[in-house]
Amino acid sequence: MISWGKSGPAQAEVVDERPRASLESGASSAVSSGASHGARHVAIIMDGNGRWAKKHRLPRAVGHQRGVEAVRRLVRGLGPMGLDCLTLYAFSSENWKRPEDEIADLMALMRKFIRSDLPDFVKNGVKLKIIGDYKVLEPDIVEMIEDALRQTANGTKTIAVALNYGSQQEIARAAAKAAEQGAVTVESISAHLDTADLPPLDLLIRTSGEVRLSNFLLWQSAYAEMWFTDVLWPDFTPGHLEEALASFAMRERRFGGR
C-alpha cells in the first residue's frame, strides 16, 4: 500500500558525489521524520536494469521486471520522507532505438504496473502525472493512462512519470508556445514546460554509476542538487533515497548568491 507523509518546510539543498558508507550522526532519523531535509520534489534517472540482469546472468526482461519492483518498493516507502512529488524517468524519446522485443517487454510491464498499483494510488491520494508525449504509445496503454489520470486527479501528492520524454524537445515546445503568446522569457518558457504545475526540482538522483543527465529535466535541473550512486536500479531501496535526502539536508543552496 502506498502512503505519504506531510511535506516539510523548504530549507537548504544538496549536491552529492557518491553515496557514503554511513550517514553522519542524526541524518537518518531526520530524514525518517520527513520534517527537516527540505526537499519537496525529487527526480530519479532509473538506470542499470540491463547491467543488473547481465551481472546476475539473467535476461534483460528480468532486469526490467526487477526495476519495476524497485519502483513499487520505493513508492511504498515514501510515507515518512515528506516529499510532495517524485518524478521517475521511465521511457525516454531515445529509448525507441532499443530492440523491438525489449520495447514490448517494457510496455507489458507498464500495463501490469498500472493495473496492479492504480487502486493503491487512488486509496492513498496519490496523483499520477505524465510528462512527455505518451499519446504515441499503443492505444490500449494510452487509454489505461488516461483512465489512471482521471481516477487520481484529486490526489494531494504526485508521482510524475516521464514517458516518451526528452528534455530538449520539451524546451523547444515550450519556447514555441511562449513565442506564440508574446515575449520569450525564462518565465514564459517555464510556464509551458511539462512540469509547470509541479514544485521546483530540488534533487536529481541517478543510479548505476553514470554521471550525466541523458536529456532529462535539463531546464528544471538548473539549480537542482545532484546525487549519483553506483547502485543499479533494481537494487535501489528507500534507504538509498533516505541517504540522498540526508546528504541534501547538509548542503547549502545559494542559487548564484553568496
Residue in 95, 120, 133, 235 annotated catalytic: 95
| Non-local CB neighbours of 21 within 8 Å, separated by 6+ positions | none
How confident is residue 188, by pLDDT bands cut at 50, 70 and 90? very high
Nearest Cα to Cα of residue 37 among 199, 249, 227: 249
Catalytic-residue membership of 95: yes
Helices 60-76, 238-249: axis angle to 10 degrees equals 60
Q: What is the pLDDT of residue 241?
A: 96
Q: What is the largest CA-CA distance in the chain?
A: 55
pLDDT digits (tens, 9 = 90+) for 6-45: 333 333 333 333 333 333 333 444 455 445 789 999 999 9
Cα-flanking dihedrals φ and ψ of residue 155, to 5°?
-65, 150
Identify the bridge partners of residue 87 per DSSP, sorted by sequence position. Answer: 43, 160
**How many Å apart are CA 184 and CA 178, to the nearest integer?**
6
Residue type, 39: A
pLDDT digits (tens, 9 = 90+) for 94-125: 999 999 999 999 999 999 999 999 999 998 88
Catalytic-residue membership of 164: no
Mean pLDDT across 163-188: 97
Q: What is the pLDDT of residue 258?
A: 63
Any idea which architecture 27-163+196-239 has in CATH? Answer: 3-Layer(aba) Sandwich (3.40)
pLDDT digits (tens, 9 = 90+) for 223-257: 999 999 999 999 999 999 999 999 999 988 777 76
Quick check: 255 and 233 in contact, CB under 8 A? no
Question: pTM of the predicted model, to two decimals?
Answer: 0.85
Residue written as grid cell 530492440: 99
Q: Where are the alpha helices (DSSP H) in the chain?
A: 27-32, 49-55, 60-76, 100-123, 139-151, 167-181, 186-191, 238-249
Residue in 16, 47, 84, 117 annotated catalytic: 47
Identify the bridge partners of residue 127 per DSSP, sorted by sequence position. Answer: 158
